[in-house]
Structure 1
Amino acid sequence: MTTTLTGIASWTEFLTAREVPVLRQTAHAITQARARAERINIREVADIVLHDPLMTARVLRFSVRQRGRRQLQDISTVEHAVMMLGVEPFFHHFVQFEVVEEQLAAHPQALLGLLHVIRRAQRAARYALDWATWRCDLNSEEVAVAALLHDLAEMLIWCVAPRQALEVAALRKSHPAMRTADAYEAVLHFPLEGLQAALCRTWELPELLLNLMDDSHSERPRVKNVKLAVDLARHSAKGWDDPALPDDFRAIARLMNIDEETLMLRLGLKHPGTGPSSEGAPVPRG
């Protein structure tokens, strides 16, 4: 669609009125899991959800609406959300889905753009989880979920306004030095992080997640963990020669209190006794 919406408030209202779509793979995995609902455990269900940032947002948003008045604690992880819902009620509530591959069938380039952002979010979540675990974070999944959802507004723009999203992509291609945030603001006429914050508040997502996704508080270790994971995933998305990566590596090494050579080994960019690896994007090691 080409939307005539203007301003954060109208976009927030529009996106709030729509159900969040999911990946076809997610819909298929949930259908298969439903067939063995009596034998599947909460962790397995959470793993399916966490593979898809869109489904993760949908589950957390739904869990807020279902939360009892006496429940004071925010639900900030998917595993907690599934536990509070119960496995069988989860499958009862999540039966039908809008599938992004079908929704964007007429816009194949936009689908590729969305999948690129989703893959980037998945990698950011893996980095964030790995580093938080290394740092003995008391709830590393919260940090991973914040990294996974850090660019949720961007994903939703690709889903519902593919032409505008493609316009942003074209603008960045013609101006390689332009920041993604600046390109979105040039096309949408408002800052994307403003829409992200408005959606999180309107959907009543946990305040903790909103704080962890707020880059303006990156002096806090957990927020810095999220931001650096997102930055690394973004800067390495097209290879390991981005000029911003050396600064990322230094900052990550400081966060983890390790030297850069150890970090390179942990990222899979260097093997013991060798130089930098020429292989593709690494998967963090547990």
Structure 2
Amino acid sequence: MTLPADWITHLQKTPLPVRAEVHRRLTAVLQRDEIDQGELVGWLRRDPGACGFVMGSAARVQRAKQRDAPHSLDHALSLLGDTWSRQQIPKLPILEETITDELQLAGYLVAVARSLHAARHAESWLVELRDTSYEIVVVATLLHNFVELALWRDAPDIMRSALIQVREHQTDTLGHAVGNAY
């Protein structure tokens, strides 16, 4: 599958799917009379697609106002407001309903797991250093695999080809392999 020429615009307009369990928990938190911001942030941090959606939405709002992008999920949510969260987050597509091909879904889930694993390590490392600004690094780590996730969603053939190149030692990194396949 080839990517459309306007793929970046497509990525901005089409949120990545969120795992069903995370989607269910986010929706439950948002249906309460009072939103527990800490719990909401905790569930958003469990899915790179959900995290990317909130951070990207807040960044676009800030860019339109010629302001700096949000530095954390909590900051992004406060910029967007409870009404936005209640209306927009439940509309996120659910992974298990969006990607039904088993190989494509498996690749997507591996990329999600890698992102979450890296975020946990980054958080542990920064907490150990007593760095109180760890949230920005954790969010950046979650978003690190955003393009890989988007490729698994939009161009799984490119990702499969790239994985084959890496496994057969034709290239050293997945990024180079994607570039070769694309």
TM-score for the superposition, normalised by structure 2:
0.87
Check the 8 A contact 2:63/2:69 in 1, yes or no. no
Shift of 1:159: 1.1
* Moved beyond 4 Å, runs of 4+: 68-71
Query: What SS is found at the alignment partner of 1:98?
Result: coil
Query: What SS is found at the alignment partner of 2:106?
Result: helix
Distance 1:53 1:145, change over 3 A: same
| Residue from 154, 157, 161 that aligns with 2:155 | 161
Q: Name the amino acid aligned to 2:58.
A: S
Residue in 1 that maps onto 2:121: 127
Residue in 2 that maps onto 1:101: 96
Counterpart check, 1:84 vs 2:79: yes
Counterpart check, 1:11 vs 2:10: no
Distance 1:113 1:137, change over 3 A: same
Unmatched 5+ residue regions in structure 2? none
Counterpart check, 1:175 vs 2:169: yes
Shift of 1:52: 0.4
Distance 1:74 1:4, change over 3 A: closer
TM alignment of 1:25-36, pairs within 5 A = 25-36=21-32
Choose between structure 1 and 2 for higher RCO, CA contacts under 8 A separated by at least 6 residues.
Answer: 2
Shift of 1:168: 1.6
- In structure 2, C-alpha distance between the alignment counterparts of 1:170 and 1:137, rounded to whole Å: 39
Q: Count how many residue pairs are aligned between Structure 1 and Structure 2.
A: 182
Check the 8 A contact 2:166/2:172 in 1, yes or no. yes
Distance 1:158 1:4, change over 3 A: closer
- In structure 2, C-alpha distance between the alignment counterparts of 1:93 and 1:71, rounded to whole Å: 23
TM alignment of 1:96-245, pairs within 5 A = 96-105=91-100, 107-175=101-169, 178-188=172-182
Residue in 1 that maps onto 2:54: 59
Check the 8 A contact 1:41/1:87 in 2, yes or no. no
Shift of 1:146: 1.0
Distance 1:177 1:33, change over 3 A: same
- In structure 1, C-alpha distance between the alignment counterparts of 2:94 and 2:175, rounded to whole Å: 26
- In structure 1, C-alpha distance between the alignment counterparts of 2:146 and 2:66, rounded to whole Å: 26
Query: What SS is found at the alignment partner of 1:95?
Result: helix
Give the CA RMSD over aligned residues: 2.3
Query: What SS is found at the alignment partner of 1:157?
Result: helix
- In structure 1, C-alpha distance between the alignment counterparts of 2:149 and 2:63, rounded to whole Å: 30
Unmatched 5+ residue regions in structure 1? 189-286
Check the 8 A contact 1:59/1:81 in 2, yes or no. yes
Q: Name the amino acid aligned to 1:40.
A: I
Q: Name the amino acid aligned to 1:3.
A: T
Check the 8 A contact 2:115/2:145 in 1, yes or no. yes
| Residue from 20, 32, 56 that aligns with 2:16 | 20
TM-score for the superposition, normalised by structure 1:
0.58
Counterpart check, 1:43 vs 2:42: no
Of residues 174-183 and 135-144 in structure 1, the stretch that sits farther from structure 2 once superposed is 174-183
Shift of 1:155: 1.0
